[in-house]
Structure 1
Amino acid sequence: MFEVIIYLFESYMQLDQNIEVDAQEITEELLEEGFQRADISKALAWLDHLSGLHETEESNRVQLAKLTSHRVYSEQEQFRLNSACQGYISYLEQAEILNGYTREIVIDCAMLLELNELELQDLKWLILMVLFNDPSSESEFLQLESMLMDLEDGLIH
């Protein structure tokens, strides 16, 4: 399922223009690419869930946590998000790329994936998708994207 999500993100979501694509058209394309129908359905449901999370009114969003607060992960969250993933989320909060609200969306979306344990590289893609889909996080998306592309190119600032 996660491979389908990544494929869709790379193929459709990063386009500069907004295009409306029918779910049936996407499903047919993905089937032609070799993805399984069940994985496609789950991926589309996951993406629909993600877009629904960002439709919440700004005034109704979770208030940012105090700087002295600490996120405690449940046992299930610890199983899915290993210490490297938890540390990376914490790092992005300290860098002000994630806030309390977007952090919770990242964790929620990670828990919906059908993976035993999320690899750090996959978490980075997931965070990019969360920020991309949040209209109020455009600058944070660009900052994270730049950081990740620089690391892939071997540049360190």
Structure 2
Amino acid sequence: MDLHDAAPVLVEGRIRIPYRWPAGRAGGRFLALLRDEGRLMGLRCSRCRRVFVPPKTRCPSCHVPCEEEVGVGPEGEVLAWTVSRRASPPAVLALVRLDGADTGLLHVLEGVEPTAVRSGLRVRAVFAETRRGHITDLDGFRPL
């Protein structure tokens, strides 16, 4: 039998793969400010002047360092969103461009019905009461 003609065999199951993903210099600073001061920051490209949130150490367009720290938010606008109906109740995930930023941060959108979400919706960051240096120190965003 030729392997190219064989029908695929499907096996259902789950594989747990624990891993750690280092935040890096820029991500570490972002998370430290989130934890310690409850504020959000981005990094500005020294050439095109775009502000990246989450911060990037190198501009993906210009390929030059992004070193200037810029405070952003805590308010912003929804650029795009999706609804996860696997959760109960359904969860809304939104790409939010914070005021002062040029890129979007993906996070949970709370306190709004999925049918009420739209591009341009103004939102505000909600910070966790207890913060530990993790992206979940930002509980999500709520409409203004």
Q: Same fold (TM over 0.5)?
A: no
Task: State the TM-score, normalizing by the size of structure 2.
Answer: 0.26
Greater helix percent: which structure?
1
Greater CA radius of gyration, 1 or 2?
2
Higher relative contact order (CA 8 A, sep 6+): 1
Task: State the TM-score, normalizing by the size of structure 1.
Answer: 0.25
Greater strand percent: which structure?
2
